[in-house]
Amino acid sequence: MARKMGFYGVIAYVLYGFVVYWYLFSFADANLPFEYEGSKADPATFLNGRELMLSEEYSKIRNLLFFLSTPFEWLFYFLILLLGLSKAFKRWGEETSKNKYGQTAIYVFWLSFFAYIATFPLSYISYTLSKTYNISTQSFAAWMKDELIDFWVNYAFMFVIVIVLYWLMNKFKTYWWLFAWLFSVPFTLFIMFLQPVVIDPLYNDFTPLKNKELETKILDLAAQANIPAEHVFEVDMAEKTNALNAYVTGIGSNSRIVLWDTTLNKLNDDQILFIMAHEMAHYVEKHIYIGIAGYLLMSLIGLYLVSRLLNWAIKRWGKEFKLKHPGDLRSLPLFLMFLSMMLFAASPITNLVSRYQETRADDYAIEMTGNTDAAISAFQELTKAGLSQVNPPWLVKIFRYGHPTMLERISRLEEYEIQKRNGN
């Protein structure tokens, strides 16, 4: 039975892959609606023929990798259970250490290591794709360094989470999901507070903005918005990518507004001021805190659903999975599989909320700066640097886009420009 389930799982994944490929390369329409042709949102007006071709190619392949990678993760965890590898990981831990925490550490290491090896080909393809299309400037050695940092950071968090999670599962067999959520609230806030000053610097160097004239302009904007900002940070990303970005991270006293140095190198001051005004809007409208609250609400619902799915799956296929109850450490792959499914299923909702917040931030930024030319040209440069699709297919938009499409953002700015010109 286990062998048959594994076979059907592999076949289902292969068929899914063919359907996704057909959708992205044959069915989906990413062409610009005719009413936008010739407008400032039309990529033909700011990209040359080669850039247009590369943008379509790169986007399709990158979208294909996205839609293949998450279900591949589900298949991996499914096969880990069916092939008895989860049982083997637990046995290796018991044979190596007599300490319960040591056994858990060894189990989590082997599960993380096998997961890394299984997903490495897709990660490497994504890296080489970015190199081929001149998005990434990172050497293989530097990329592997980041990969290894990722592995050990994720392993450390996973170990702590698993220790607490399985203690709760065994102590509170019915309502462990509720107690796990209660523990996750301070943990999430702690990580959000810690990330800008501890985790992010593991990957890049963050320094106060060197261009003091630009920093003064940005801080003037911050003062207009009643934001108590003292510094703007820049991060050295040019050695890794040609893409542009700016963002707000952290909470409380550790909040930071960050500009990639690629953004500083490729955009002029007016364009950067629009982007900074956009980032300030997230602070003014408390989008970070709303996002945390939304995440915690979704995680409560998700943990409850995962607990129900765990009980159902073990009751029905416990023999095949070699599991008797959720509190067995060997159930971790099943827990991670269901959790990943919940996150994937929730992504259209979280992306929809995010797109709404980003639209609000765009509106705030243009009202603050009043410079539509700078705003539109900034979005055009972002599109060019990242080889982004201006009008992505519908499924790509709802599952991948936490920002409005460039068609939506630029056309909205053009409408604002017309209204301003007409005195409305």
Q: What is the pLDDT of residues 284-342, one digit of tens each?
A: 888 888 888 898 999 999 999 999 999 999 998 888 888 888 999 999 999 999 999 99
pLDDT score of 254 more than 70: no
Average pLDDT over residues 224-231: 74
Question: pLDDT > 70: what percent of the chain?
Answer: 97
Between 254 and 352, where is the model more confident?
A: 352
pLDDT score of 39 more than 90: no
Does the annotation mark 414 as catalytic?
no
* Strand pairing report for 233-235 and 256-260: parallel
Q: Which residues have C-beta within 8 Å of that of residue 107, sequence separation ≥ 6?
A: 89, 90, 92, 93, 329, 332
Q: What is the pLDDT of residues 121-176, one digit of tens each?
A: 999 999 999 999 989 999 999 999 999 999 999 999 999 999 999 999 999 989 99
Runs of H (alpha helix) within 228-286: 261-266, 269-284
Nearest-angstrom CA–CA distance, 87 and 318:
13
Q: What is the pTM of this model?
A: 0.89
Would you list which residues are annotated within the binding site? 278, 282, 358
User: What crossing angle do the helices spanning 100-132 and 49-82 adopt, rounded to 10°?
Assistant: 160
Does the annotation mark 29 as catalytic?
no
**366 CB-contact burial (10 Å; exposed 0-12 / middle 13-18 / buried 19+):** buried
Catalytic residue from among 200, 261, 328, 362? 362
Q: Which residues have C-beta within 8 Å of that of residue 47, sequence separation ≥ 6?
A: 55, 383, 384
Q: How confident is the model at residue 211 (pLDDT cuts 50, 70, 90)?
A: confident
Would you list which residues are annotated within the binding site for Zn(2+)? 278, 282, 358
pLDDT score of 251 more than 70: no
Nearest-angstrom CA–CA distance, 132 and 26:
23
Catalytic residue from among 73, 279, 328, 408? 279
pLDDT score of 101 more than 80: yes
Q: If you average pLDDT over each of 182-191, 289-298, 394-403, which comes out highest? A: 394-403
Question: pLDDT > 90: what percent of the chain?
Answer: 55
Nearest-angstrom CA–CA distance, 252 and 93:
40
Q: What is the pLDDT of residues 410-423, one digit of tens each?
A: 999 988 888 777 76
pLDDT of residue 229: 67
Between 255 and 54, where is the model more confident?
A: 54
Q: What is the DSSP string of 21-69?
A: HHIIIII---PPPGGGTTSTT-GGGTS-HHHHHHHHHHHHHHHHHHHHH
Describe the strand order of the beta sheet including 256-260 as a list of residue ranges: 206-208, 233-235, 256-260, 246-249
Q: Which residues have C-beta within 8 Å of that of residue 178, sequence separation ≥ 6?
A: 172, 300, 303, 304
Coil, helix or strand for 322? coil
Compute φ and ψ for 208, nearest 5 degrees.
Answer: -60, 145
pLDDT score of 202 more than 80: no
